[in-house]
Structure 1
């Protein structure tokens, strides 16, 4: 019996042609990778890290949702997206429950500016959390397929080891090339399974251990906005050149440079004036925003017990009763304490006038 030949076109895919779901691969939990091909045999041309927009026929009428392409353009005969359903994920939930091989859907794109092809560098630092790993997987696969694996430190945060998407595939890459270094951190280990990696939320100290030469690397970050904000705060406090920082929100990917949101994080400004009132002691001291509450207290002759001076041990926790501070800690204070108004004096900078119970 003669073999059937695949009908591959010499033309790249354009979004006038419906995509056919060819394969579905369960990843973990409510996460799966969907592979699509063009029925005409057209191939796919895009930059690693870009996204496509799918029109999904959900109950109540079609909706459009954007998904980062998790495959690489170095493998152009198909594209894959990897989706994780959240409690409010109407489109993703429909895909996991109803999309099957052979079904065709409308797609638009590819689009987006989040790609290391647009920022050439000798060293890269990829930082992701949850399904924010998808554009990093696309870029890493491209690097592997190029035959010239660049220097990539790949940092990823997940709730548990079993929830690290693409873990086995990334480890296969890293086992064969010296240029890819994987650094995983999880909030908690899986039951009855040992975990030799990092444990806890990503912090300044952890990042310094994972990538000691972070100042030399071009940074790409993707994940929930609170995660990306914490990464930005870490890098700023560590003296990183933020012109070399690039991010993509998996909730709202950006198509063009003009649409890119302006990152306007509040951070201490050199020379900006501030004032701290130590309410219990009745002392008010003028300072600068770049001063820490602990340093100002010591200059004022006041004692706040302290230990590590890195926001790790929690010894210098005090109650803030007025004003705002900029605090970048390393796990020495809980979210509950922060919500209750507590700060760590060693890593808190006054933003204007504040008052603390000291």
Structure 2
């Protein structure tokens, strides 16, 4: 087969559809830093991955409780690769202390292994928020969705007015350091600023040192108030960024962030409990089979929100029906579920529900 014919066949590959086949085969594993790896996946059949830079996939890993390989755990990971290279998708994962999924990935996933995923989903993309001037702020592995944007721009030959500030603990922790520097070398309007807390391991460090601050933001991007800002990183990092921008009088309607934090409750859940039900609103009992607990939940409140009010800690993340983290089997009863793509139709047909967007329509029992 000639190269021309092979290219034509590749271009005709149909789009990957997780509803038809949600399997992904690991094609490569790369060490990015001492505790970060990139995992490259492809479909078992010739398929193209169609996604916007900044979107994520929700994976179903056979990790089980405590990482023991019994059962499965859902986790969201942003696609780090570019949509301009559609035959594979890549995620970049940092090994974290006590992180059952990240440690399992680092220790177990190898070339040829099969995982399952759904998506892509999410709106953390410049395609959803077009702009002429951008400021990318990232901390640690939060660089991945922004890297997808930058790789796409570079592949397309676009030289957009973009300032990137990436924060890391030490120079050896900087993700994609050499790739970013190469991009900046070849693009006139791309500015890369690496910020480290400590110069351990690189005493000749010539970049910025310290933590993100208003002074540093104003030094690196003095026109930041004119830019659309995209931020991703650990929750404390993003909280610091939001405080800095508000203090500087930034228009927060132009600020966008992405994070998948599975250790804490979602901010919306922490902020306030749902108001008490109005008179005449029906209240139903919801039983959690594994814990043996029963709670009351009115028909206008999601089961997850009612469980939080009752003091139950349940796995959750997005609280919007996107990520699939709160997915569970409904053993009996009926619910009204308004999801946003975090569950497959065949799972719904089997009785699975997302607790974050399911409201009871009678007594309900779930397998939690």
Same fold at TM > 0.5:
yes
SS across alignment from 2:127? helix
Q: Is the 8 A contact 1:24 1:100 kept in 2?
A: yes
| Correspondence list, 1:227-242, <5 A | 227-242=237-252
Q: Is the 8 A contact 2:29 2:39 kept in 1?
A: yes
Q: Aligned pair 1:194/2:199, yes or no?
A: no
Provide the residue aligned with 2:281 in structure 1. none
Q: Deviations over 1:76-133 (max 9, x none)?
A: 1100000001112211111111111111111111111111111111100000101100
Are 2:109 and 1:104 aligned? no
Which residue, 85, 98, 115 being the options, matches 1:75? Answer: 85
CA distance in 2, matches of 1:94, 1:193: 34
What's the CA shift string for 1:242-276, capped at 9, x where partnerless?
11000111326xxxxxx995998xxxxxxxxxxxx
1:275 maps to which residue? Answer: none
Report if the CA contact (8 A) 1:24-1:101 is conserved. Answer: yes
- Pick one of 159, 165, 172 that aligns with 2:182: 172
Counterpart position of 2:124? 114
Deviations 1:292-324 (A, max 9, x none): xxxxxxxxxxxxxxxxxxxxxxxxxxxxxxxxx
In the alignment, what sits opposite 1:11?
14
How many residue pairs get aligned? The number is: 258
Name 1:49's counterpart in structure 2.
54
- Report the Cα distance in structure 2 between the residues aligned to 1:98 and 1:46, rounded to whole angstroms: 27
- Which digits, 9 at most, give the CA deviation of each residue in 1:62-85, with x for residues without a partner? 111111100010111100000001
Structure 2 Cα separation of the partners of residues 221 and 249 of structure 1? 9
Q: Distance in 2 between matches of 1:122 and 1:263?
A: 35
CA distance in 2, matches of 1:244, 1:222: 14
Root mean square deviation of aligned Cα: 2.3
Matched residue, 2:304: none
Aligned position for 1:22: 27
Q: Distance in 1 between matches of 2:53 and 2:35?
A: 24
- Kindly indicate whether the alpha-carbon contact (under 8 Å) linking 1:55 and 1:106 is maintained by their aligned counterparts in 2: yes
Q: TM-score, normalised by structure 1?
A: 0.68
Which 5+ residue runs of structure 2 have no aligned equivalent?
64-68, 272-368
- Cα deviation, residue 2, structure 1: 9.7
Q: CA deviation at 1:171?
A: 0.7
Which of 62, 66, 70 does residue 76 from structure 2 map onto? 66
1:237 deviates by: 0.8
Partner of 1:33: 38
Q: 1:204 aligns with which of 214, 219, 222?
A: 214
TM (norm. structure 2) is: 0.66
Corresponding residue to 1:88 among 98, 106, 112? 98
